[in-house]
Structure 1
Amino acid sequence: MTNSTTPLLPEMAEIWQQTLNWQPTTQQQEKFQQLYQSILEGNAQLNLTRITEPQEFWEKHLWDSLRGIVQQGQFIPSLQEGASVIDIGTGAGFPGVPVGIIAPNSTVTLLDSTRKKINFIDKVITALELKNCQTLVGRSEEIGQQTQHRQIYDLALIRAVGTTSVCAEYTLPLLKQGGLAVIYRGTWTEEETQALHNAVKQLGGEVESIEQFITPLSDSIRNCLYLRKIATTPAKFPRAVGVPTQKPL
Protein backbone atom coordinates (compact mmCIF):
# COMPACT_ATOMS: atom_id res chain seq x y z
CA MET A 1 0.00 0.00 0.00
CA THR A 2 1.42 3.35 -1.02
CA ASN A 3 0.06 6.42 0.66
CA SER A 4 -1.00 8.81 -2.12
CA THR A 5 0.56 11.74 -0.27
CA THR A 6 4.02 10.14 -0.24
CA PRO A 7 6.14 11.19 -3.21
CA LEU A 8 7.25 8.28 -5.39
CA LEU A 9 10.87 7.23 -5.33
CA PRO A 10 12.54 7.23 -8.74
CA GLU A 11 12.99 3.74 -10.24
CA MET A 12 16.47 4.37 -11.68
CA ALA A 13 16.59 0.96 -13.38
CA GLU A 14 19.39 2.03 -15.75
CA ILE A 15 21.55 3.47 -12.99
CA TRP A 16 21.11 0.36 -10.83
CA GLN A 17 22.16 -1.74 -13.81
CA GLN A 18 25.16 0.41 -14.77
CA THR A 19 26.52 0.87 -11.25
CA LEU A 20 25.66 -2.39 -9.45
CA ASN A 21 25.01 -4.73 -12.37
CA TRP A 22 21.61 -5.38 -10.79
CA GLN A 23 18.03 -4.11 -10.76
CA PRO A 24 15.36 -4.39 -8.07
CA THR A 25 12.34 -6.57 -8.79
CA THR A 26 8.90 -4.94 -8.73
CA GLN A 27 8.40 -6.31 -5.23
CA GLN A 28 11.73 -4.92 -4.01
CA GLN A 29 10.89 -1.55 -5.57
CA GLU A 30 7.57 -1.59 -3.65
CA LYS A 31 9.40 -2.36 -0.41
CA PHE A 32 11.81 0.53 -1.02
CA GLN A 33 8.78 2.79 -1.44
CA GLN A 34 7.19 1.45 1.77
CA LEU A 35 10.45 2.01 3.62
CA TYR A 36 10.57 5.59 2.32
CA GLN A 37 6.98 6.18 3.43
CA SER A 38 7.66 4.71 6.89
CA ILE A 39 10.70 6.95 7.35
CA LEU A 40 8.80 10.08 6.31
CA GLU A 41 6.08 9.20 8.84
CA GLY A 42 8.56 8.25 11.59
CA ASN A 43 10.55 11.45 11.03
CA ALA A 44 7.76 13.48 12.61
CA GLN A 45 8.47 11.94 16.03
CA LEU A 46 12.03 10.70 15.80
CA ASN A 47 14.13 12.96 13.58
CA LEU A 48 15.48 9.92 11.73
CA THR A 49 17.03 11.66 8.74
CA ARG A 50 17.33 15.08 7.11
CA ILE A 51 17.28 13.35 3.72
CA THR A 52 13.63 13.24 2.68
CA GLU A 53 13.50 14.44 -0.95
CA PRO A 54 12.86 11.37 -3.19
CA GLN A 55 15.97 11.50 -5.40
CA GLU A 56 18.26 12.35 -2.51
CA PHE A 57 16.74 9.56 -0.41
CA TRP A 58 17.21 7.14 -3.30
CA GLU A 59 20.89 8.06 -3.70
CA LYS A 60 22.06 8.65 -0.13
CA HIS A 61 20.09 5.90 1.59
CA LEU A 62 19.14 3.19 -0.91
CA TRP A 63 21.89 3.33 -3.52
CA ASP A 64 24.62 4.12 -0.98
CA SER A 65 23.52 1.24 1.29
CA LEU A 66 23.63 -1.28 -1.55
CA ARG A 67 26.80 0.06 -3.19
CA GLY A 68 28.65 -0.84 -0.01
CA ILE A 69 27.86 -4.53 -0.37
CA VAL A 70 29.24 -4.61 -3.92
CA GLN A 71 32.91 -5.55 -3.97
CA GLN A 72 34.87 -5.71 -7.24
CA GLY A 73 31.74 -5.25 -9.31
CA GLN A 74 29.44 -7.83 -7.72
CA PHE A 75 27.38 -8.33 -4.58
CA ILE A 76 29.39 -9.98 -1.81
CA PRO A 77 28.85 -13.68 -2.65
CA SER A 78 27.89 -14.86 0.86
CA LEU A 79 24.79 -12.59 0.76
CA GLN A 80 23.08 -14.71 -1.89
CA GLU A 81 24.07 -17.95 -0.16
CA GLY A 82 22.59 -16.91 3.18
CA ALA A 83 24.98 -14.85 5.27
CA SER A 84 24.57 -13.85 8.89
CA VAL A 85 24.77 -10.04 8.76
CA ILE A 86 24.93 -7.39 11.50
CA ASP A 87 24.38 -3.67 10.89
CA ILE A 88 26.05 -1.73 13.70
CA GLY A 89 24.53 1.62 14.71
CA THR A 90 21.73 1.15 12.20
CA GLY A 91 19.91 4.40 13.12
CA ALA A 92 16.95 4.65 10.75
CA GLY A 93 17.77 1.19 9.33
CA PHE A 94 20.60 1.88 6.88
CA PRO A 95 22.27 -0.01 5.36
CA GLY A 96 20.65 -3.05 7.03
CA VAL A 97 17.02 -2.78 5.90
CA PRO A 98 17.82 -2.29 2.17
CA VAL A 99 20.27 -5.21 2.44
CA GLY A 100 17.52 -7.31 4.06
CA ILE A 101 15.16 -6.41 1.20
CA ILE A 102 17.54 -7.53 -1.56
CA ALA A 103 19.11 -10.55 0.20
CA PRO A 104 16.16 -12.62 1.48
CA ASN A 105 18.36 -15.69 2.08
CA SER A 106 20.50 -13.80 4.57
CA THR A 107 19.57 -12.90 8.15
CA VAL A 108 20.17 -9.27 9.11
CA THR A 109 20.52 -8.13 12.73
CA LEU A 110 19.96 -4.39 13.16
CA LEU A 111 21.86 -3.09 16.20
CA ASP A 112 21.39 0.32 17.78
CA SER A 113 21.81 1.64 21.30
CA THR A 114 18.70 3.86 21.06
CA ARG A 115 15.57 1.96 22.07
CA LYS A 116 13.23 4.40 20.26
CA LYS A 117 15.00 3.82 16.94
CA ILE A 118 14.86 0.05 17.38
CA ASN A 119 11.13 0.26 18.23
CA PHE A 120 10.65 2.19 14.99
CA ILE A 121 12.63 -0.38 12.97
CA ASP A 122 10.59 -3.20 14.53
CA LYS A 123 7.47 -1.58 13.07
CA VAL A 124 9.15 -1.14 9.69
CA ILE A 125 10.30 -4.74 9.37
CA THR A 126 6.83 -5.95 10.39
CA ALA A 127 5.13 -3.65 7.85
CA LEU A 128 7.56 -4.73 5.10
CA GLU A 129 7.24 -8.40 6.12
CA LEU A 130 11.01 -8.76 6.34
CA LYS A 131 11.12 -12.08 8.16
CA ASN A 132 14.90 -12.24 7.66
CA CYS A 133 15.50 -9.10 9.77
CA GLN A 134 15.70 -8.82 13.55
CA THR A 135 16.66 -6.06 15.95
CA LEU A 136 18.99 -5.76 18.90
CA VAL A 137 19.30 -2.92 21.42
CA GLY A 138 22.78 -2.43 22.84
CA ARG A 139 26.25 -0.93 22.57
CA SER A 140 28.60 -2.66 20.19
CA GLU A 141 31.35 -2.72 22.86
CA GLU A 142 29.08 -4.90 25.04
CA ILE A 143 27.52 -6.98 22.24
CA GLY A 144 31.02 -7.81 20.96
CA GLN A 145 31.85 -9.45 24.29
CA GLN A 146 28.70 -11.63 24.41
CA THR A 147 29.20 -15.24 23.36
CA GLN A 148 25.94 -15.34 21.37
CA HIS A 149 27.27 -12.54 19.12
CA ARG A 150 31.05 -12.76 19.25
CA GLN A 151 32.71 -14.30 16.18
CA ILE A 152 29.42 -15.54 14.68
CA TYR A 153 28.65 -13.14 11.81
CA ASP A 154 29.71 -13.47 8.16
CA LEU A 155 29.29 -9.80 7.39
CA ALA A 156 29.36 -6.67 9.59
CA LEU A 157 28.22 -3.33 8.15
CA ILE A 158 28.91 0.03 9.76
CA ARG A 159 27.92 3.39 8.28
CA ALA A 160 28.30 6.90 9.67
CA VAL A 161 29.77 5.73 12.98
CA GLY A 162 33.07 7.05 14.41
CA THR A 163 36.61 6.91 13.01
CA THR A 164 37.72 3.90 11.01
CA SER A 165 39.81 2.38 13.80
CA VAL A 166 36.74 2.60 16.08
CA CYS A 167 34.64 0.96 13.35
CA ALA A 168 37.22 -1.82 13.06
CA GLU A 169 37.07 -2.42 16.82
CA TYR A 170 33.26 -2.57 16.71
CA THR A 171 33.05 -4.93 13.72
CA LEU A 172 35.93 -7.41 13.77
CA PRO A 173 35.18 -9.05 17.15
CA LEU A 174 31.69 -9.94 15.85
CA LEU A 175 32.97 -11.70 12.72
CA LYS A 176 33.78 -15.37 12.35
CA GLN A 177 37.10 -16.20 10.72
CA GLY A 178 36.87 -15.43 7.01
CA GLY A 179 34.10 -12.88 7.65
CA LEU A 180 34.05 -9.41 6.14
CA ALA A 181 33.52 -5.96 7.64
CA VAL A 182 32.31 -3.12 5.41
CA ILE A 183 33.01 0.40 6.65
CA TYR A 184 31.12 3.12 4.76
CA ARG A 185 32.94 6.45 4.55
CA GLY A 186 32.71 9.78 2.80
CA THR A 187 36.21 11.13 2.24
CA TRP A 188 39.33 9.12 2.90
CA THR A 189 43.04 9.96 3.14
CA GLU A 190 46.31 8.05 2.92
CA GLU A 191 47.16 8.96 6.54
CA GLU A 192 43.97 7.26 7.69
CA THR A 193 44.97 4.12 5.83
CA GLN A 194 48.11 3.71 7.97
CA ALA A 195 46.19 4.13 11.24
CA LEU A 196 43.59 1.64 10.02
CA HIS A 197 46.17 -1.02 9.09
CA ASN A 198 47.63 -0.75 12.60
CA ALA A 199 44.22 -1.12 14.30
CA VAL A 200 43.02 -3.94 12.06
CA LYS A 201 46.19 -5.98 12.65
CA GLN A 202 45.62 -5.88 16.43
CA LEU A 203 42.04 -7.09 15.95
CA GLY A 204 42.80 -10.17 13.84
CA GLY A 205 41.97 -8.65 10.48
CA GLU A 206 43.52 -7.27 7.32
CA VAL A 207 42.49 -4.49 4.96
CA GLU A 208 41.36 -6.45 1.91
CA SER A 209 40.43 -3.51 -0.31
CA ILE A 210 39.44 0.14 -0.31
CA GLU A 211 37.07 1.16 -3.08
CA GLN A 212 36.40 4.76 -4.02
CA PHE A 213 33.40 5.64 -6.16
CA ILE A 214 31.25 8.55 -7.23
CA THR A 215 27.55 8.71 -6.38
CA PRO A 216 25.39 8.66 -9.54
CA LEU A 217 23.21 11.75 -9.00
CA SER A 218 25.22 14.27 -6.96
CA ASP A 219 28.73 13.17 -8.05
CA SER A 220 29.91 12.94 -4.44
CA ILE A 221 32.97 10.93 -3.47
CA ARG A 222 32.41 7.85 -1.31
CA ASN A 223 34.75 5.19 0.00
CA CYS A 224 34.10 1.69 1.27
CA LEU A 225 36.69 -0.23 3.24
CA TYR A 226 36.59 -4.01 3.28
CA LEU A 227 38.29 -5.72 6.22
CA ARG A 228 38.75 -9.49 6.21
CA LYS A 229 38.87 -11.41 9.51
CA ILE A 230 41.90 -13.71 9.31
CA ALA A 231 42.61 -14.58 12.95
CA THR A 232 40.87 -14.73 16.33
CA THR A 233 40.31 -11.30 17.88
CA PRO A 234 42.07 -11.04 21.28
CA ALA A 235 39.61 -11.31 24.17
CA LYS A 236 40.27 -7.74 25.38
CA PHE A 237 38.57 -6.34 22.26
CA PRO A 238 36.22 -4.58 21.98
CA ARG A 239 37.22 -2.55 25.02
CA ALA A 240 34.69 -1.12 27.48
CA VAL A 241 31.97 1.32 26.38
CA GLY A 242 33.47 4.67 25.37
CA VAL A 243 37.11 3.51 25.38
CA PRO A 244 37.42 2.85 21.61
CA THR A 245 36.34 6.43 20.84
CA GLN A 246 38.43 8.02 23.62
CA LYS A 247 41.58 5.99 22.90
CA PRO A 248 41.44 4.76 19.30
CA LEU A 249 43.86 1.95 18.45
Structure 2
Amino acid sequence: MNHFQIMKEVCNDIELSFNEEKYNKFMKYKDILKLWNNKMNLTAIVEDEDIVKKHFIDCIEIFKFSPIKAALNIIDVGTGAGFPGIPIKILDERKRITLLDSLNKRINFLNQVVLKLKLDEINCIHGRAEDFSKKLEYREKFDMAVSRAVANLAVLSEFCIPYVKTDGYFIAMKGPAVENEIKDGRNAINILGGKVEDIIKVENYGFNHNLVVIKKIRETPKIYPRKSGVIIKKPLK
Protein backbone atom coordinates (compact mmCIF):
# COMPACT_ATOMS: atom_id res chain seq x y z
CA MET A 1 0.00 0.00 0.00
CA ASN A 2 1.48 3.39 -0.98
CA HIS A 3 1.49 6.49 1.21
CA PHE A 4 -1.57 8.02 -0.44
CA GLN A 5 -3.61 4.86 0.13
CA ILE A 6 -2.44 4.56 3.75
CA MET A 7 -3.42 8.14 4.55
CA LYS A 8 -6.71 7.92 2.68
CA GLU A 9 -7.64 4.72 4.52
CA VAL A 10 -7.03 6.36 7.91
CA CYS A 11 -9.08 9.40 6.86
CA ASN A 12 -11.91 7.20 5.58
CA ASP A 13 -12.04 5.40 8.94
CA ILE A 14 -12.78 8.71 10.70
CA GLU A 15 -15.05 10.08 7.95
CA LEU A 16 -12.55 12.69 6.87
CA SER A 17 -12.16 13.89 3.29
CA PHE A 18 -8.78 13.17 1.68
CA ASN A 19 -7.69 13.74 -1.91
CA GLU A 20 -4.64 14.19 -4.13
CA GLU A 21 -4.42 17.91 -3.41
CA LYS A 22 -4.19 17.33 0.34
CA TYR A 23 -1.77 14.46 -0.17
CA ASN A 24 0.51 16.63 -2.31
CA LYS A 25 0.58 19.28 0.43
CA PHE A 26 1.60 16.66 2.96
CA MET A 27 4.38 15.45 0.64
CA LYS A 28 5.63 19.01 0.11
CA TYR A 29 5.55 19.50 3.88
CA LYS A 30 7.61 16.31 4.29
CA ASP A 31 10.21 17.52 1.79
CA ILE A 32 10.56 20.94 3.47
CA LEU A 33 10.82 19.23 6.87
CA LYS A 34 13.63 16.99 5.66
CA LEU A 35 15.48 19.88 4.00
CA TRP A 36 15.37 22.13 7.07
CA ASN A 37 16.16 19.23 9.37
CA ASN A 38 19.62 19.11 7.79
CA LYS A 39 20.44 22.48 9.33
CA MET A 40 18.40 22.47 12.55
CA ASN A 41 16.93 19.85 14.83
CA LEU A 42 13.23 19.58 13.99
CA THR A 43 12.68 15.82 14.24
CA ALA A 44 14.59 12.60 14.85
CA ILE A 45 12.17 10.89 12.46
CA VAL A 46 13.69 11.26 8.99
CA GLU A 47 12.62 8.32 6.79
CA ASP A 48 9.68 9.00 4.47
CA GLU A 49 7.56 6.11 5.72
CA ASP A 50 8.20 7.01 9.35
CA ILE A 51 7.29 10.66 8.74
CA VAL A 52 4.02 9.58 7.15
CA LYS A 53 3.12 7.09 9.87
CA LYS A 54 4.64 8.59 13.02
CA HIS A 55 3.96 12.24 12.28
CA PHE A 56 1.23 12.67 9.67
CA ILE A 57 -1.05 9.76 10.57
CA ASP A 58 -0.50 10.41 14.27
CA CYS A 59 -1.77 13.96 13.72
CA ILE A 60 -4.65 12.89 11.47
CA GLU A 61 -5.89 10.68 14.31
CA ILE A 62 -6.72 13.76 16.39
CA PHE A 63 -9.89 13.92 14.27
CA LYS A 64 -11.06 10.79 16.11
CA PHE A 65 -12.32 13.35 18.61
CA SER A 66 -15.22 14.39 16.40
CA PRO A 67 -15.93 17.86 17.95
CA ILE A 68 -12.65 19.05 16.41
CA LYS A 69 -14.49 19.11 13.07
CA ALA A 70 -16.67 21.97 14.36
CA ALA A 71 -13.83 23.91 16.03
CA LEU A 72 -12.80 26.81 13.80
CA ASN A 73 -10.25 28.66 15.94
CA ILE A 74 -7.45 26.39 17.20
CA ILE A 75 -4.12 27.04 18.89
CA ASP A 76 -1.25 24.52 18.80
CA VAL A 77 0.89 25.18 21.88
CA GLY A 78 4.56 24.21 21.64
CA THR A 79 4.03 23.25 18.02
CA GLY A 80 7.65 22.42 17.22
CA ALA A 81 7.76 21.34 13.58
CA GLY A 82 4.05 22.12 13.18
CA PHE A 83 2.47 19.01 14.65
CA PRO A 84 -0.49 18.71 14.85
CA GLY A 85 -1.47 22.24 13.72
CA ILE A 86 -0.32 22.12 10.10
CA PRO A 87 -1.84 18.68 9.37
CA ILE A 88 -5.12 19.91 10.91
CA LYS A 89 -5.04 22.91 8.55
CA ILE A 90 -4.22 20.80 5.49
CA LEU A 91 -7.14 18.51 6.25
CA ASP A 92 -9.62 21.31 6.94
CA GLU A 93 -8.76 24.63 5.31
CA ARG A 94 -11.69 26.41 7.02
CA LYS A 95 -9.86 26.38 10.33
CA ARG A 96 -7.98 29.39 11.70
CA ILE A 97 -4.78 28.00 13.20
CA THR A 98 -2.30 29.64 15.56
CA LEU A 99 1.08 27.92 15.88
CA LEU A 100 2.94 28.97 19.03
CA ASP A 101 6.55 28.06 19.75
CA SER A 102 9.29 29.50 21.97
CA LEU A 103 12.12 28.96 19.44
CA ASN A 104 12.32 31.55 16.65
CA LYS A 105 14.22 29.20 14.29
CA ARG A 106 11.23 26.87 14.31
CA ILE A 107 8.90 29.79 13.58
CA ASN A 108 11.08 30.67 10.55
CA PHE A 109 10.66 27.08 9.34
CA LEU A 110 6.90 27.16 9.93
CA ASN A 111 6.55 30.42 8.01
CA GLN A 112 8.27 28.76 5.04
CA VAL A 113 5.90 25.79 5.22
CA VAL A 114 2.88 28.12 5.32
CA LEU A 115 4.26 30.08 2.34
CA LYS A 116 5.17 27.04 0.22
CA LEU A 117 1.90 25.23 0.93
CA LYS A 118 -0.12 28.45 0.37
CA LEU A 119 -2.00 28.07 3.63
CA ASP A 120 -4.35 30.91 4.57
CA GLU A 121 -5.46 31.98 8.05
CA ILE A 122 -2.55 30.36 9.87
CA ASN A 123 -0.49 32.48 12.23
CA CYS A 124 3.00 31.48 13.44
CA ILE A 125 3.96 33.16 16.71
CA HIS A 126 7.30 33.24 18.47
CA GLY A 127 6.68 33.36 22.20
CA ARG A 128 6.27 31.53 25.47
CA ALA A 129 2.93 29.90 26.19
CA GLU A 130 2.69 31.35 29.69
CA ASP A 131 3.18 34.90 28.37
CA PHE A 132 0.74 34.90 25.45
CA SER A 133 -2.14 33.41 27.43
CA LYS A 134 -1.99 36.49 29.68
CA LYS A 135 -2.71 38.74 26.67
CA LEU A 136 -6.37 39.67 26.21
CA GLU A 137 -6.34 38.84 22.49
CA TYR A 138 -5.31 35.23 23.25
CA ARG A 139 -6.72 34.41 26.66
CA GLU A 140 -9.80 32.17 26.46
CA LYS A 141 -10.27 33.06 22.79
CA PHE A 142 -9.89 29.62 21.20
CA ASP A 143 -12.43 26.87 20.54
CA MET A 144 -9.67 24.35 21.08
CA ALA A 145 -6.05 24.07 22.16
CA VAL A 146 -3.98 21.11 21.02
CA SER A 147 -0.52 19.99 22.00
CA ARG A 148 1.86 17.19 21.18
CA ALA A 149 4.59 18.72 23.35
CA VAL A 150 6.59 16.58 25.74
CA ALA A 151 5.54 17.60 29.25
CA ASN A 152 3.50 15.91 31.96
CA LEU A 153 -0.22 16.60 31.86
CA ALA A 154 -0.35 18.91 34.88
CA VAL A 155 2.36 21.13 33.37
CA LEU A 156 0.92 21.00 29.86
CA SER A 157 -2.55 21.87 31.12
CA GLU A 158 -1.32 25.06 32.81
CA PHE A 159 0.31 26.11 29.54
CA CYS A 160 -2.75 25.28 27.40
CA ILE A 161 -6.07 25.52 29.25
CA PRO A 162 -5.92 29.34 29.71
CA TYR A 163 -6.23 29.74 25.92
CA VAL A 164 -9.52 27.84 25.71
CA LYS A 165 -13.02 29.34 25.84
CA THR A 166 -15.49 27.98 28.36
CA ASP A 167 -17.15 24.91 26.76
CA GLY A 168 -14.11 24.50 24.48
CA TYR A 169 -11.53 21.72 24.64
CA PHE A 170 -7.87 21.04 25.23
CA ILE A 171 -6.59 17.91 23.47
CA ALA A 172 -3.29 16.51 24.77
CA MET A 173 -1.67 13.93 22.48
CA LYS A 174 -0.02 11.43 24.79
CA GLY A 175 1.79 8.10 24.66
CA PRO A 176 0.35 4.71 25.65
CA ALA A 177 1.13 4.97 29.39
CA VAL A 178 -0.87 8.02 30.40
CA GLU A 179 -2.93 6.74 33.34
CA ASN A 180 -0.57 8.00 36.05
CA GLU A 181 -0.30 11.41 34.38
CA ILE A 182 -4.08 11.72 34.36
CA LYS A 183 -4.31 10.58 37.99
CA ASP A 184 -1.63 13.08 39.06
CA GLY A 185 -3.01 15.87 36.87
CA ARG A 186 -6.76 15.74 37.59
CA ASN A 187 -6.67 18.26 40.42
CA ALA A 188 -4.46 20.65 38.44
CA ILE A 189 -6.88 20.43 35.51
CA ASN A 190 -9.79 21.17 37.88
CA ILE A 191 -7.98 24.21 39.37
CA LEU A 192 -7.45 25.55 35.82
CA GLY A 193 -11.16 25.21 34.97
CA GLY A 194 -11.05 21.91 33.10
CA LYS A 195 -12.35 18.38 33.43
CA VAL A 196 -11.06 15.17 31.84
CA GLU A 197 -13.96 14.16 29.61
CA ASP A 198 -12.53 11.27 27.62
CA ILE A 199 -9.42 9.26 26.79
CA ILE A 200 -9.45 8.10 23.18
CA LYS A 201 -7.09 5.22 22.47
CA VAL A 202 -5.49 5.25 19.03
CA GLU A 203 -3.82 2.19 17.52
CA ASN A 204 -2.38 2.32 14.02
CA TYR A 205 0.51 0.61 12.25
CA GLY A 206 1.91 -0.70 15.52
CA PHE A 207 1.88 2.69 17.28
CA ASN A 208 -0.30 3.23 20.33
CA HIS A 209 -1.18 6.56 21.90
CA ASN A 210 -4.01 8.46 23.55
CA LEU A 211 -5.96 11.64 23.00
CA VAL A 212 -6.67 13.08 26.43
CA VAL A 213 -9.81 15.19 26.03
CA ILE A 214 -10.19 17.98 28.58
CA LYS A 215 -13.31 20.14 28.50
CA LYS A 216 -13.13 23.74 29.74
CA ILE A 217 -16.06 24.02 32.15
CA ARG A 218 -15.30 27.41 33.73
CA GLU A 219 -12.90 30.33 33.41
CA THR A 220 -9.27 29.87 34.43
CA PRO A 221 -8.37 31.92 37.53
CA LYS A 222 -6.37 34.99 36.53
CA ILE A 223 -3.31 33.94 38.55
CA TYR A 224 -2.67 31.13 36.04
CA PRO A 225 -0.48 30.41 34.26
CA ARG A 226 2.40 31.07 36.61
CA LYS A 227 5.96 31.68 35.41
CA SER A 228 7.46 28.84 33.36
CA GLY A 229 10.09 27.87 35.94
CA VAL A 230 7.46 27.61 38.65
CA ILE A 231 5.06 25.61 36.45
CA ILE A 232 7.75 23.05 35.69
CA LYS A 233 9.36 22.87 39.13
CA LYS A 234 6.13 22.99 41.13
CA PRO A 235 3.28 21.53 39.05
CA LEU A 236 -0.20 22.11 40.44
CA LYS A 237 -1.42 19.26 42.62
Pairwise TM-score range, normalised by the shorter structure = over 0.9
| SS of match in other structure, 2:39 | helix
1:164 aligns with 2:150: no
Q: Distance in 2 between matches of 1:35 and 1:237?
A: 35
2:107 paired residue among 99, 118, 122: 118
1:192-242 per-residue CA deviation (whole Å, 9 max, x = no partner) reads 222221111100111110111212x2x122011011111010001111122
| Number of corresponding residues | 235
Match of 2:118 in 1: 129
| SS of match in other structure, 2:38 | helix
1:69-122 per-residue CA deviation (whole Å, 9 max, x = no partner) reads 321xx462324xxx1110011111111111111111110000000000001100
Q: Distance in 1 between matches of 2:199 and 2:102?
A: 28
- Cα distance change on mapping 1:51 and 1:190 into 2, 3 Å: closer
Shift of the alpha carbon at 1:133? 1.1
**Which protein has the bigger helix share?**
2
1:35 aligns with 2:35: no
Contact between 2:8 and 2:18, CA under 8 Å: does it hold in 1?
Answer: no
1:237 aligns with 2:227: no
Match of 2:50 in 1: 56
- Does 169-178 or 15-24 show the bigger shift? 15-24
| SS of match in other structure, 1:31 | helix
Q: Distance in 1 between matches of 2:3 and 2:108?
A: 25
Q: Unmatched 5+ residue regions in structure 1?
A: 1-7
Shift of the alpha carbon at 1:190? 3.2
Give the letter aligned to residue 70 of structure 2: S
Q: How much is the aligned-residue C-alpha RMSD, in angstroms?
A: 1.6
Shift of the alpha carbon at 1:175? 0.5
Q: Distance in 2 between matches of 1:177 and 1:195?
A: 23
User: How many percent of aligned residue pairs carry the same amino acid?
Assistant: 31
TM-score, normalised by the number of residues in structure 2? 0.94
Contact between 1:173 and 1:238, CA under 8 Å: does it hold in 2?
Answer: yes
Moved over 4 A (4+): none
Q: Distance in 1 between matches of 2:184 and 2:112?
A: 39
1:224 aligns with 2:228: no
| SS of match in other structure, 1:227 | strand
- Cα distance change on mapping 1:122 and 1:161 into 2, 3 Å: same
Q: Distance in 2 between matches of 1:189 and 1:77?
A: 25
- Cα distance change on mapping 1:189 and 1:39 into 2, 3 Å: closer
Contact between 2:77 and 2:149, CA under 8 Å: does it hold in 1?
Answer: no
1:172-196 per-residue CA deviation (whole Å, 9 max, x = no partner) reads 1001111110001112243322222
